[in-house]
């Protein structure tokens, strides 16, 4: 690493490997953000940070190269018809995984689904619009909507849009829907796959089951059958 990179990012040298630090540096020199501010979520495979560009907040999802279960990623991504020809090289799979997440969010944006605006992707780092005000928007699991029916209908609208655009989220649940000012925002498209993939129906059914279950739990009257009919 150059001295400049080393200097600027050295506080993170115990958190991220050199390659990741260089990737973060490159994204910041491209002008996407000035610095990381604080972690929002620390996961097994990725950390999500709030970054600052001026005083504007940006979300940065960083996959930890050492911690990624690339075998699992490979098994999942090769079932996506868009990625059947992928080589089984460790880093390449992780990068494709991150690219696919970005690509899925782009597709979702094109049909006006409520998802964070994708800003940039490089190697194992994804830069997204920050959803939240002073603090990050909470997951709907932690903050139930005030207007439950309206919120649920909006989730259905979003699922319809994704279906129409030809993608299945494949990890949809109250964990991956943020409640921002009582409106749903779908996040975490890392498992998102094409509706043409062999396992797409199964994955869509699972999304529908999770969503139906959660909204039932918080008092919305719905069923899997009804929800499926509305989505497809």
Q: What amino acid positions are annotated as catalytic residues?
A: 171, 188
- Single out the segment in contact with ligand ATP by CB under 6 A; choices: 13-21, 36-44, 198-206, 214-222: 36-44
The verdict on 116 binding ligand ATP (CB under 6 A) reads yes
Question: CA–CA separation, 50 vs 141, rounded Å?
Answer: 21
Binder of Mg ion out of 176, 191, 194, 197 (CB under 5 A): 176
60 binding ligand ATP? (CB under 6 A): no
* b/e per residue 76-103 (b: at least 16 CB within 10 A): bbbbbebbeebeeeeeebbbbbbbbbbb
Measured distance CA(158)–CA(169) in Å, rounded: 11
Cα gap 119→142, rounded to integer Å: 27
- Asked whether position 179 contacts Mg ion by CB under 5 A, the answer is no
Residue 59 found at the interface with ligand ATP (CB under 6 A): yes
Q: Which stretch binds ligand ATP (CB under 6 A): 4-12, 133-141, 160-168, 208-216?
A: 133-141
Residue (of 222, 205, 224, 160) closest to 186 by Cα position: 160
* 41 touches ligand ATP (CB under 6 A): yes
């970054």: which residue's tokens? 51
Mark 188-207 with x for binding to Mg ion (rule: CB under 5 A) and - for no binding.
x-------------------
Does 33 sit near ligand ATP (CB under 6 A)?
A: no
């Amino acid at each position: 690493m150059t001295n400049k990179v080393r200097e600027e990012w050295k506080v993170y040298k115990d958190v991220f490997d050199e390659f990741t630090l260089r990737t973060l540096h490159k994204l910041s020199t491209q002008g996407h953000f000035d610095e990381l501010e604080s972690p929002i979520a620390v996961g097994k495979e990725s950390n999500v940070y709030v970054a600052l560009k001026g005083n504007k907040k940006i979300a940065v999802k960083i996959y930890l190269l050492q911690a990624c279960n690339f075998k699992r990623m490979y098994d999942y991504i090769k079932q996506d018809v868009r990625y059947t020809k992928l080589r089984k090289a460790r880093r390449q799979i992780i990068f494709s995984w991150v690219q696919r997440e970005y690509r899925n969010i782009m597709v979702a944006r094109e049909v006006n689904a409520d998802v964070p605006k994708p800003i940039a992707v490089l190697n194992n780092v994804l830069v997204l619009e920050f959803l939240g005000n002073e603090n990050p928007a909470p997951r709907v699991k932690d903050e139930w909507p005030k207007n439950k029916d309206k919120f649920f209908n909006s989730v259905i609208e979003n699922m319809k849009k994704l279906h129409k655009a030809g993608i299945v989220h494949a990890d949809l649940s109250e964990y991956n829907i943020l409640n921002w000012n009582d409106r749903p925002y779908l996040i975490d498209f890392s498992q998102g796959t094409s509706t043409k993939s062999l396992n797409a129906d199964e994955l869509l059914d699972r999304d529908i089951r999770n969503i139906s279950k959660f909204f039932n739990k918080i008092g919305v009257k719905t069923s899997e059958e009804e929800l499926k009919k509305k989505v497809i």
